[in-house]
Amino acid sequence: MLDNPVITPRKLTLEERVLRRLPFAQVIDRADQRITQWMARYGLTMMRVALGVIFFWFGALKLVPGLSPAEDLVRNTIFFIDPNLFQPVLAVWEMAIGLGLITGLFMRLTLLLLFLQMPGTALPIFITPEAVFTHFPFGLTIAGQYIVKNLALITSAIVLGSTVRGGRIVA
């Protein structure tokens, strides 16, 4: 960051200008480079596995009646399909997404399953808004927070999807 001839010239950020003035700037810069390289090397894999654990875990919870905190939300949202049929199908679907992410196998299919499932997770916003909002549009219930956090899952999946044809993070 400080004196790297490989980096093309650009305007320094405020953070970089402040760092340059510190007496121990070189030490901080070397540590920052090592940390950034470590994150670039392992970050995508860690994100993929963590996302997989979330999907597998949440799916597995849905296999046991009464164990998933999302069970009632799903039952009340997908009222037009028998919940005794839908819950196990959804559970296995989520577990398949989780296994695909954890193993890194069949990533295109895994991400397709994930993206096909995500619109269903937003249905409560429209079908049962009273379960999602305490005060529309900003006051969220726990269920609403559960739904909004899917933005992070979707964004993570988009980042992972950018790598299926060899894209990568470079530090």
Q: How far apart are CA 28 and CA 19, in angstroms?
A: 8
- On whether residue 10 sits in a domain, the answer given is no
Q: How far is CA 126 from the centre of its chain?
A: 22
Report the predicted TM-score, pTM, of the whole model to 2 decimal places.
Answer: 0.85
Interval 41-63: pLDDT, tens: 999 999 999 999 999 999 999 99
| Percentage of the residues of the chain whose pLDDT score is greater than 90 | 75
Say which DSSP state 128 is in: -
- On whether residue 37 sits in a domain, the answer given is no
Q: How confident is the model at residue 6 (pLDDT cuts 50, 70, 90)?
A: low
Q: How far is CA 151 from the centre of its chain?
A: 7
User: Tokens 């400080």 label which residue?
Assistant: 2
Interval 48-104: pLDDT, tens: 999 999 999 999 999 999 999 999 999 999 889 998 999 999 999 999 999 999 999
Domain of 118?
Answer: 48-161
**Residue 147 above 80 pLDDT?**
yes
Cα Rg of the chain (Å, integer): 21
- On whether residue 69 sits in a domain, the answer given is yes
Our count of domains for the chain comes to 1
- On whether residue 169 sits in a domain, the answer given is no
- On whether residue 15 sits in a domain, the answer given is no
